[in-house]
């Protein structure tokens, strides 16, 4: 049977295209994350329909009959930063590998990079799918950042340690503020400032990329996408009592389609407030709230760069363990075109 390569416009594809792509992505997800249920079609569609306008994305698919058996995608944020960068992904179902499909699907990605002036391609693999790492090595890509999804089983949580961190919290000088859902409009500028500092502190190791400047509009657009897909977000901010200044934050997200799983998102403390136990306090307070108000949650996952020693120290003390490896690769457009011949 002839294999057909077909581009798909994610913002206005047909229902048949959406359904076929959805089925393919869940099959790929099951290989990398066999413990997790498939993503419901309605959740994935809500995400696609609410992509922030700043996100530019292209998708190419290989079809066999009425099924997608391979896919490549390319995307970037249409912002002043990282004008050299194109994020790319290639996936092929196990039964269709070693047939040259990844190479064929990489060709339109490289052409898009040329047309848009993007000179560096970046993508991710996991050790659970060795074929991805092997492909990146054949391509001549460089390992730019090693990271893991770390997981905490709440049945193994050190509750004595949790209680000690809460008792040691510097409550005389600081106070916690809890938000559910969208951030308060009155505090949005301050929230953006906190997030910007924390994001800028994230390790990049050898990755050739710039910090993105966060704006209130971007933050609201991301919120809309998360909420439309059924996500619920809890956030704790810590303020200095004397000045009212934000000193740090932590946030988690939860989706009713995966009721046993909580995703720990960003956590960070402003440089001027570090060394006072605020990060431990934020983490402990959030976990305590989850235990009390989300009894169905049995595990918490979070992503950490392997080089992020301060955050890993907190997470490992709580009982987080490596769950899923992730390598972020980078490769110049020249090397990609040479590989493609």
pLDDT single digits (tens) 181-190: 999 998 899 8
Q: Determine, yes or no, domain membership for 113.
A: yes
pLDDT score at 195: 87
Task: Indicate whether 306 and 168 sit together in one domain.
Answer: yes
Task: Indicate whether 227 and 308 sit together in one domain.
Answer: yes
pLDDT score at 200: 86
Q: Determine, yes or no, domain membership for 138.
A: yes
pLDDT for 2 beyond 80: no
Task: Indicate whether 127 and 8 sit together in one domain.
Answer: yes
Task: Indicate whether 143 and 195 sit together in one domain.
Answer: no
Task: Indicate whether 168 and 299 sit together in one domain.
Answer: yes
Span 291-300, mean pLDDT?
A: 98
Q: How many domains does the chain have?
A: 2
Span 207-227, mean pLDDT?
A: 95
Q: Determine, yes or no, domain membership for 323.
A: no
Task: Indicate whether 126 and 191 sit together in one domain.
Answer: no
Task: Indicate whether 264 and 209 sit together in one domain.
Answer: yes
Task: Indicate whether 193 and 104 sit together in one domain.
Answer: no
Q: Determine, yes or no, domain membership for 324.
A: no
CATH of the domain at 269: 3.40.630.30
Q: Using a pLDDT cut of 90, give the percent of the chain over it.
A: 91
Confidence class of residue 321 from pLDDT cuts 50, 70 and 90?
Answer: very high
pLDDT for 50 beyond 80: yes
Task: Indicate whether 124 and 173 sit together in one domain.
Answer: no
pLDDT for 91 beyond 70: yes
pLDDT for 322 beyond 70: yes
The 3-state secondary structure of the chain reads CCCEEEEECCCCCCHHHHHHHHHHHHHHHHHHCCCCCCCCHHHHHHHHHCCCCCEEEEEEEEEECCEEEEEEEEEEECCCCCCCEEEEEEEECHHHCCCCHHHHHHHHHHHHHHHHCCCEEEEEECCCCHHHHHHHHHHCCEEEEEEEEEEEEHHHCCHHHHHHHHHCCCCCCEEEEEEECCCCHHHHHHHHHHHHHHHHCCCCCCCCCCCCCCCHHHHHHHHHHHHHCCCEEEEEEEEECCCCCEEEEEEEEECCCCCCEEEEEEEEECHHHCCCCHHHHHHHHHHHHHHHHCCCCCEEEEEEECCCHHHHHHHHHHCCEEEEEEEEEEEEHHHHHHHHC
Span 90-111, mean pLDDT?
A: 96
Whether residue 254 contacts residue 263, with contact meaning beta carbons closer than 8 Å, is answered with yes
pLDDT score at 41: 98
Span 191-220, mean pLDDT?
A: 92
Span 149-176, mean pLDDT?
A: 97
pLDDT for 1 beyond 70: no
pLDDT for 256 beyond 90: yes
Show the domain range for 206: 158-318
pLDDT score at 199: 83
What integer best gives the mean pLDDT of the chain? 95
Q: Determine, yes or no, domain membership for 10.
A: yes
Compute the radius of gyration of the chain from its Cα atoms.
Answer: 21
Span 72-99, mean pLDDT?
A: 97
pLDDT score at 181: 94
């Amino acid at each position: 049977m002839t294999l057909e390569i077909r581009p798909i416009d994610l913002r206005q594809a047909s229902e048949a295209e959406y359904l076929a792509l959805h089925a393919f992505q869940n099959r790929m997800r099951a290989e990398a994350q066999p413990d997790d249920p498939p993503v419901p079609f309605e959740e994935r569609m809500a995400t696609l329909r609410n992509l922030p306008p700043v996100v530019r994305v292209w998708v190419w698919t290989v079809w066999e009959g009425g099924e997608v058996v391979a896919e490549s995608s390319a995307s970037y944020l249409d912002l002043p930063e990282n004008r050299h960068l194109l994020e790319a992904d290639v996936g092929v179902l196990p039964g269709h590998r070693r047939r040259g499909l990844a190479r064929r699907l990489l060709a339109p990605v490289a052409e898009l990079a040329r047309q848009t002036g993007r000179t560096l391609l970046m993508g991710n693999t996991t050790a659970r799918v060795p074929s991805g790492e092997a492909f990146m090595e054949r391509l001549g890509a460089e390992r730019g950042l090693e990271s893991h999804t770390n997981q905490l089983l709440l049945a193994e949580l050190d509750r004595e340690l949790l209680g000690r961190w809460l008792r040691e919290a510097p409550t005389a000088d600081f106070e916690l503020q809890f938000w559910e859902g969208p951030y308060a409009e009155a505090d949005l500028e301050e929230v953006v400032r906190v997030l910007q500092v924390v994001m800028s502190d994230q390790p990049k190791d050898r990755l050739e990329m710039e910090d993105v400047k966060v704006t209130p509009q971007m933050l609201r657009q991301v919120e809309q996408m998360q909420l439309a897909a059924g996500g619920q977000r809890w956030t704790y901010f810590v303020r200095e009592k004397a000045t009212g200044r934000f000193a740090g934050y932590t946030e988690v997200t939860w989706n009713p389609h995966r009721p046993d799983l909580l995703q720990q998102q960003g956590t960070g403390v402003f440089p001027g407030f570090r060394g006072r136990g605020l990060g431990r306090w934020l983490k402990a307070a959030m976990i305590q709230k989850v235990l009390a108000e989300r009894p169905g949650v049995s595990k918490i996952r979070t992503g950490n760069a392997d080089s992020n020693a301060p955050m890993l120290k907190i997470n490992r003390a709580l009982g987080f363990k490596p769950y899923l490896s992730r390598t972020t690769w980078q490769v110049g457009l020249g090397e990609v075109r040479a590989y493609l011949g």
